[in-house]
Structure 1
Amino acid sequence: MVLAAVGKNGTGKDYFLEYVSKKFGLPMISIGDVVRELAANDGLELTRENLHKTSKKYMDTYGQTFFPEQVVQKIKTANSPNFLVSGIRPLSDVEFLKAAFGDKFILVDVVISDDDVRYERMLSRGSDRDGKSVKRLREYDEGEEKLFHTSQTEKMADYVLRNDGTVEDFYKAIDDFYYNYLAERLD
C-alpha cells in the first residue's frame, strides 16, 4: 500500500503523513527529499531557489514524471510493503503513482475550509516561505492551480480528511481514518 496526501498549502498534509508514520510505524519518502539529494549531489546549497532550479533541470531533461519515477524506484527497492509519500503536487505525479501501484495507491485530500484558519496555522509554523497575508495565500493557491492543476489532483482523492478543528480533533480524524479505512488495506 502506498499512501499520499494532497491539498492546499497549510492544510496539514505533511503533518498528517508524519503522524501516521510515527504512530503506526510506516516509512515515508518525500519528493522534496529526492530534489534535495540531487541538488546536494550537484554541489548546490539547499536554498528554495536552488531546489526550484534543480526540479526544473531534471524535469526538463528527463520529463515531468522524473521525480515520481525516483520515488517508485525507492519504494520498490525498500524493505517495506507499505509506504507514505509526501510532496505530491502535479496531476502527473498522482497519475504516475496510480499507474505504478494500481489499487494499492491511496490518495488523501487534506482540507481546511476557511482560508483565515489555514493562514493562521501557517503563521504559527513560523516558516518564511509562507504568505504574508490571506490575500497572498490565495494568490499562491491560484499559482499552484495554474502550474499543477491542484483542483484536478484533489478530485482524484480516495478519501477527504478535514482539518477544521483543533489539533486533537485532527489526531482523532487521522486515527479514525487509519482504523476504519487504512488498516484493512495494509499489506
Structure 2
Amino acid sequence: MKNSDKGLGLKTEKQIVVGVTGLPGSGKSTFTSIAKSLGYPVIVMGDFIRLEAKKRGIKPTAENLSKLMFKVRKEKGEDVLAKLTVKAVKKMDNPIVFIDGVRTLKEVEFFKRNLPDFRLIAIYAPEKVRFKRVFKRRKLRVDDVDSWERFKKRDQNELKIGVGEVMSKANLTIKNSGSLKRFEAKVKKFLEELNNEISFKRSS
C-alpha cells in the first residue's frame, strides 16, 4: 500500500461501501435518492468539485464544473476526490454507505485499496432516454445542459475522464430505461439483498 493511503482505513471491516457510476441522465441521483429516503448515507463526489467552484468564485454550470474537475485532478492527482471521499467514509460507522459519481479507474483502484469491502454498480440508460431526462430537469439543476450538442459534449467529457471504462468494471449493472416505478423496484430489490448480506456478515 502506498504511503499516501495510510490512515484512510475504515473503522470496521463489516461495512459495505457501494460506488455508483453512470453517464449523465442514467439515474445515479435517482438511485442514491431512493437509498437516502430509506436511511442510507450517500457521499456525492461531485459535491467536492461544486465546493471547490464556490471557493474559486466559479459559476457551477456543467461546462465550468467539467473544466474545473480536469484542472483539480491535474493539480492534485487523479485520485484527489477518492481521497476526500474515503476520509468522509472513515467518519461513518454505518453498515452500508453509497458513493455517488465514481468516474475513473484510478478512483476505483484507490477505493479497492482503502475500503475493505468496496462494490461498484453501474446505472445504464440509452443515450436518447438520458437526454430527455437531462433536458427535462435543466431548469432544476444549474449544472445540466440545454441542447443535444452540449449533452453530447458532456458525454464525451465523461468518457474522456473514464466513465465508460469504470462502467465496464462494475460488479452489477442496473438498466434504467423504463418507468421510475420499475427502476425503484430494481433499486429496492438490490438494497434488500445488500441488507441480507450485511446482516449475515455481522452475525458471523
On whether the aligned pair clears a TM of 0.5, the verdict is: yes
Which segment is superposed worse, 59-68 or 135-144? 135-144
Aligned-residue Cα RMSD (Å) equals 2.4
Question: What secondary structure sits across from 2:25 in the alignment?
Answer: coil
How many residue pairs are counted as aligned between the two chains? 180
Displacement of 1:37 in angstroms is 2.9
Identify the residue that residue 9 of structure 1 maps to in structure 2.
24
Q: Does 1:116 align with 2:114?
A: no
Identify the residue that residue 60 of structure 2 maps to in structure 1.
47
Q: Does 1:161 align with 2:178?
A: no
Question: What secondary structure sits across from 2:115 in the alignment?
Answer: helix
Q: Residue 157 of structure 1 aligns to which amino acid in structure 2?
A: A
Question: What secondary structure sits across from 2:99 in the alignment?
Answer: strand
Displacement of 1:66 in angstroms is 0.9
Equivalent residues of 1:90, 1:150 under 8 A apart: yes
Question: What secondary structure sits across from 1:110 in the alignment?
Answer: strand
Q: Does 1:101 align with 2:108?
A: no
Matches within 5 A, 1:136-147: 137-145=151-159, 147=160
Cα distance in 2 between the residues matched to 1:16 and 1:100:
24
Cα distance in 2 between the residues matched to 1:150 and 1:35:
17
Cα distance in 1 between the residues matched to 2:136 and 2:97:
29
1:35 to 28, 37, 49: 49
2:78 to 64, 78, 89: 64
Distance 1:177 1:38, change over 3 A: same
What is the percentage of aligned positions where both structures have the same residue? 24
List runs of 5+ in structure 1 lacking aligned partners: none
Cα distance in 2 between the residues matched to 1:131 and 1:161:
26
Identify the residue that residue 83 of structure 1 maps to in structure 2.
97
Q: Residue 167 of structure 1 aligns to which amino acid in structure 2?
A: L
TM-score computed with the length of structure 2 as normaliser: 0.76
Relative to its length, the structure with more helix (as a share) is: 1
Identify the residue that residue 147 of structure 2 maps to in structure 1.
132
Identify the residue that residue 22 of structure 1 maps to in structure 2.
37
List runs of 5+ in structure 2 lacking aligned partners: 1-15
